[in-house]
Amino acid sequence: MKLTLFVCLAGVVAASALPQFQERHPEYTAETLVDEREDRGDGHFRYLFRTSNGINTEKVGTPGSKGQSNMQGSFSFPLTDGGVAEFTYVADENGYQPSSDLLPPTPPHVFRLLEIAAQQRAQGIRFE
């Protein structure tokens, strides 16, 4: 009983503090401008989300050849210096592949490791 009362009291205190926090930190306050979702139920889907503070994301999904969902999309958000971080990506049988000017270049040894993995797959070697 005491725990329930304490949780309720903590909720009231947090709720009363929210407007003051939002007033002091408007950068953390956002309204949803767009929220579109479409799911056909067969592995095909589309998602679009935008907020008033510059957070944006969109994603399209299709069924993959190995039972997974393949996705292609993008997301962006404002940076503290006034710029915008923008990312695009593909997620499929080959894993998650992001792209952005903010990401460091892929180290050369990674390409060699990918070649080795392809050779092992061709030889029938599986790591699960």
- Extract the tokens encoding 97: 């592949």
Rama region for 45: left / alpha / beta (φ>0; ψ in -120 to 50; rest):
beta
Q: What is the pLDDT of residues 23-60, one digit of tens each?
A: 777 667 789 999 999 999 888 999 999 999 899 999 99
Using CA atoms, how far apart are residues 118 and 124, in angstroms rounded to an integer? 10
> pLDDT (tens digit, 9 = 90+) per residue, 91-113?
998 889 999 999 999 899 999 99
- Distance of alpha carbon 39 from alpha carbon 43, whole angstroms: 8
Q: What pTM, to 2 d.p., does this model score?
A: 0.66
Mean per-residue pLDDT of the chain: 85
